């Protein structure tokens, strides 16, 4: 079978297309015949910083495909099921940039017959991160479902990114009023297509004033892509018992928070990293995202505010470079091409 691997950290050029034996699933594992591999910022960051093991590292955490074999202790009924995969490569060699991979059974989720493999490969990190960001506030439930956030208001900072798009779609499915910020008209169109109720161009409008017009008492949750830059704004629009959920690090910048003004609303400033979040949060996130997919509430593509950029497996390095360069939309690797 074909796979992508790297044996040393570095630029996208360290990624190599190789031939290798098809792996066999061990106890508690399943083998998936891959359709698409999803590329996220965390994948290129790992590639540049982490030292691979002696056998090399297959990159990419997310993907979709069909279960074609199971190991001991796994119900064989899974064979033939279409699935999406999350955190395939976390502390393991097998990422999703391969024709076949083996992963623990808990890391595959039934996709169903109707959703596309492209959709399945776009779920994983963006949607599970967005779920966590939307459920950490004390004023909000820890589960998402149709109508679960009715009467609540969410601010998504950076609504044209992959996590921002996921947060908009999940929040709308749950019934929240969604405000999002963008940097220009093109991204405004994408955020609106995702389902945002209100779109604010932060380069031309006063974000605090616009948010306060919509939510005079403040917002219940802020999904924050740039905490160092936006902390002053977030502090002025967070509502009673709300939370600022920070899932990106602004390149290592530090966040300054005005303590006294945050004490009044008992605001929470929450750091979010999918890899190390509590096990219960991951389990609930997987269940709720799967439910949103089953409800038909999650979409991908231009019409959903998430343009797709698809590369063949042999061009995985170009896919990584596109994400590293900040392409707008979702980058996928077509493993079958």
Instruction: Kindly state whether residues 73 and 156 are assigned to the same domain.
Output: no
| 16, β-bridge pairs | 5
Instruction: Kindly state whether residues 111 and 130 are assigned to the same domain.
Output: no
* pLDDT tens track for 11-52: 999 999 999 999 999 999 999 999 999 999 999 999 999 889
3-state helix, strand, coil in the chain (%, to 5): 35, 25, 40
Q: Do the domain assignments include residue 40?
A: yes
As a whole number of angstroms, the distance between CA 200 and CA 191 comes to: 10
Q: Do the domain assignments include residue 57?
A: yes
Instruction: Kindly state whether residues 12 and 30 are assigned to the same domain.
Output: yes
CATH number at residue 137: 3.40.50.720
Q: Do the domain assignments include residue 210?
A: yes
Scanning the structure block, which residue is given the tokens 């969604």? 178
pLDDT at position 52 is 92
Domain extent at residue 317: 2-122+306-334
Instruction: Kindly state whether residues 93 and 202 are assigned to the same domain.
Output: no
- Categorise residue 118: left if φ over 0, alpha if ψ from -120 to 50, beta otherwise: alpha
Q: Do the domain assignments include residue 285?
A: no
Instruction: Kindly state whether residues 137 and 165 are assigned to the same domain.
Output: yes
Instruction: Kindly state whether residues 193 and 262 are assigned to the same domain.
Output: yes
pLDDT at position 253 is 86
DSSP 204-243: TS-HHHHHHHH-TT-EEEEEES-HHHHHHHHHHHEEEEEE
pLDDT at position 44 is 96
CATH number at residue 67: 3.90.180.10
Instruction: Kindly state whether residues 131 and 263 are assigned to the same domain.
Output: yes
Instruction: Kindly state whether residues 234 and 178 are assigned to the same domain.
Output: yes
Domain edge (last residue) among 254, 275, 296: 275
Q: Do the domain assignments include residue 171?
A: yes
Structure tokens that stand for 303 in this block:
């019409």
C-alpha 110, offset from chain centre: 17
Q: Do the domain assignments include residue 247?
A: yes
pLDDT at position 2 is 98
Domain edge (last residue) among 255, 275, 295: 275
DSSP 21: P
Instruction: Kindly state whether residues 200 and 242 are assigned to the same domain.
Output: yes
Low-confidence ranges of the chain (pLDDT < 70): none
Instruction: State pTM to two decimals.
Output: 0.97
Q: Do the domain assignments include residue 282?
A: no
Instruction: Kindly state whether residues 133 and 265 are assigned to the same domain.
Output: yes
Task: Provide the number of structural domains found in the chain.
Answer: 2
| Rg of the chain in Å (alpha carbons) | 20
Instruction: Kindly state whether residues 161 and 232 are assigned to the same domain.
Output: yes
CA distance readout (Å), 182 to 156, 188, 203, 210, 329: 9, 6, 8, 13, 14
Q: Do the domain assignments include residue 44?
A: yes
Instruction: Kindly state whether residues 22 and 106 are assigned to the same domain.
Output: yes
């Amino acid at each position: 079978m074909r796979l992508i691997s790297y044996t040393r950290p570095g630029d996208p050029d360290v990624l190599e297309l190789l031939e290798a034996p098809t792996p066999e699933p061990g106890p508690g594992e399943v083998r998936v015949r891959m359709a698409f591999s999803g590329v996220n910022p965390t994948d290129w960051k790992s590639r540049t910083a982490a030292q691979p093991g002696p056998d090399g590292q297959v990159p990419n955490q997310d993907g979709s495909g069909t279960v074609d074999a199971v190991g001991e202790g796994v119900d064989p009924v899974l064979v033939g099921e279409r699935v999406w995969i999350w955190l395939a490569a976390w502390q393991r060699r097998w990422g999703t940039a391969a024709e076949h991979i083996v992963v623990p059974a808990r890391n595959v989720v039934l996709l169903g017959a109707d959703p596309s493999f492209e959709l399945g490969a776009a779920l994983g990190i963006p949607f599970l991160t967005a779920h966590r960001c939307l459920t950490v506030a004390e004023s909000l439930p820890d589960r998402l479902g149709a109508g679960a956030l009715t009467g609540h208001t969410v601010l998504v900072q950076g609504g044209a990114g992959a996590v921002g798009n996921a947060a908009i779609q999940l929040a709308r499915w749950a019934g929240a009023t969604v405000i999002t910020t963008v940097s220009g008209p093109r991204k405004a169109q994408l955020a609106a297509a995702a389902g945002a109720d209100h779109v604010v161009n932060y380069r031309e409008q006063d974000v605090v004033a616009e948010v306060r017009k919509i939510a005079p008492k403040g917002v219940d949750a802020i999904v924050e892509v740039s905490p160092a830059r936006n902390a002053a704004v977030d502090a002025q629009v967070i509502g009673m018992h709300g939370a600022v959920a920070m899932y990106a690090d602004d390149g290592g910048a530090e966040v300054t928070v005005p303590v006294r003004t945050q004490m009044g609303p008992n605001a929470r400033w929450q750091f979010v990293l999918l890899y190390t979040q509590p096990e219960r949060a991951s389990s609930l996130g997987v269940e709720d995202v799967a439910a949103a997919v089953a409800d038909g509430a999650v979409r991908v593509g231009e019409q959903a505010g998430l343009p797709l950029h698809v590369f063949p497996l042999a061009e995985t390095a170009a896919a990584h470079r596109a994400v590293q360069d900040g392409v707008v939309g979702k980058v996928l690797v077509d493993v079958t091409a």
